[in-house]
Amino acid sequence: MKQEKSIHLDLGKNSYDIHIAQGEIDRLGERLETLAFKGQVAVVTNPKIDRLYGERVNKGLRKSGYRPIVIQIPAGERYKTLKQIGRIYDRLIEHRFERKDLLIALGGGVIGDMTGFAAATFLRGVPFVQCPTTVVAQVDASIGGKTGVDHPKGKNLIGAFHQPRFVSSDPAVLTTLQKREYRSGLAEVVKYGVISDERFFSYLEENSRDIRALDLDKVSKCIERSSEIKAQIVASDERESGLRKILNYGHTIGHAVETLTGYRNINHGEGVAMGMIAASRLAVELGLLRAQDVTRQVALLEAFGLPTRLPDLDPADILNVMAGDKKVMGGEIYFILPKKIGSVEVMKVDKKVLRRFLKALPKYV
């Protein structure tokens, strides 16, 4: 196993560690032993991840004396529903799970969000662990305790905050991702550079070719720095009442694009990439950002093979979906807008301004 990096997320009684190392996926049993955990364990995953990594995870758990049950749910954002949560409940009830028992989320952001939500709500709360297997999950979705499911009217509208006991991120598992899925996750990595760390953004620019080619040493550094930034932000604002909102950079329009395309044609990272560039162009229009800082983002995202232009959608439809977003307050739409690479601002944007801007976006194509 390569050298381990552990990041402590300080949330008082909800504190936990994020462990990052090649080979980490084999150590879940050891991690639970360290916590002196004695209960039942259920591994929630999807069929593909189970085929790839289920036996390794189960072997490690059995070695530590646990007898895991496996709960499979279908892969894909369109299955991130209450109906599938009900299937998880059914299996837990069948095996007589109690409040002292634990769930393990083995998979990407969808699995992590759903497992966390099931853990938050089953018996009014049972513990869970995150074992993320995608870039998006390792740098973002597994950290911070946001859990939930989608609704036909919008993404992640039903959910709860429920922190994991720990996060185990293994960069080596990313080698089995499809190229498109791997690339799409890099949008979230770019996000951290824009919202918080210009030096990290420059590192991504300088090493974009190796990162895209999945150089594990450089990818590990990306996961480590992204996780550090998210942990720092979450530690200061666990429930997203202030600073944590900046983590939604690119997501306001990105989620609308995902919703309007039925969670099928455009995946999460691609939507975020489009949303970041749209938000940056809006920031330029509002006089907050230099045009060259948009150009840098476009160049980096395209170097990672990500789209930077919105699909052909009706601006009125985009605005309508954004108006129903969970981040809307008092009927007002808020955007995370960059002021420069490494610094952003949460800002209310008038709907009339947004409507004009969305109609004008094709001029950038």
- Phi and psi at 47, nearest 5°, equal -55, -40
Per annotation, catalytic residue among 221, 248, 270, 296: 248
Whether 207 is a known active-site residue: answer no
Whether 198 is a known active-site residue: answer no
Residue in 302, 319, 304 with CA at minimum distance from that of residue 353? 319
Whether 8 is a known active-site residue: answer no
CA distance 80 to 155: 9
Q: DSSP characters for 322-354?
A: HHTSTT-BTTBEEEEEEEETTEEEEEEE-HHHH
Whether 188 is a known active-site residue: answer yes
Residue 53 carries which DSSP code? Answer: I
Token output for 15:
């504190």
CB 105 within 8 A of CB 111: yes
Per annotation, catalytic residue among 188, 228, 258, 270: 188
Per annotation, catalytic residue among 31, 146, 212, 281: 146
Whether 285 is a known active-site residue: answer no
Q: Helix count (H) and strand count (E) of the chain?
A: 15, 11
Whether 218 is a known active-site residue: answer no
Whether 2 is a known active-site residue: answer no
CB 191 within 8 A of CB 276: yes
Per annotation, catalytic residue among 5, 19, 191, 255: 255
Whether 180 is a known active-site residue: answer no
Per annotation, catalytic residue among 83, 124, 352, 363: 124
Per annotation, catalytic residue among 162, 230, 281, 296: 230
Whether 95 is a known active-site residue: answer no
CA distance 134 to 156: 19
Using only the alpha carbons of the chain, give its radius of gyration.
20
Per annotation, catalytic residue among 77, 240, 258, 270: 240
Burial 143-172 (b: 16+ CB within 10 A, else e): bbbbbbbbbeebbbebbeebbbbbbbbbbb
Token output for 67:
């007898």
CA distance 53 to 226: 24
Per annotation, catalytic residue among 19, 155, 212, 251: 251
CA distance 194 to 192: 5
Per annotation, catalytic residue among 27, 218, 268, 296: 268
Per annotation, catalytic residue among 191, 225, 244, 281: 244
Whether 183 is a known active-site residue: answer no
Using the Cα atoms of residue 49, residue 166, residue 8 and residue 335 in order, give the sign of their dihedral: positive
Residue numbers annotated as active site: 124, 146, 188, 230, 240, 244, 248, 251, 255, 268
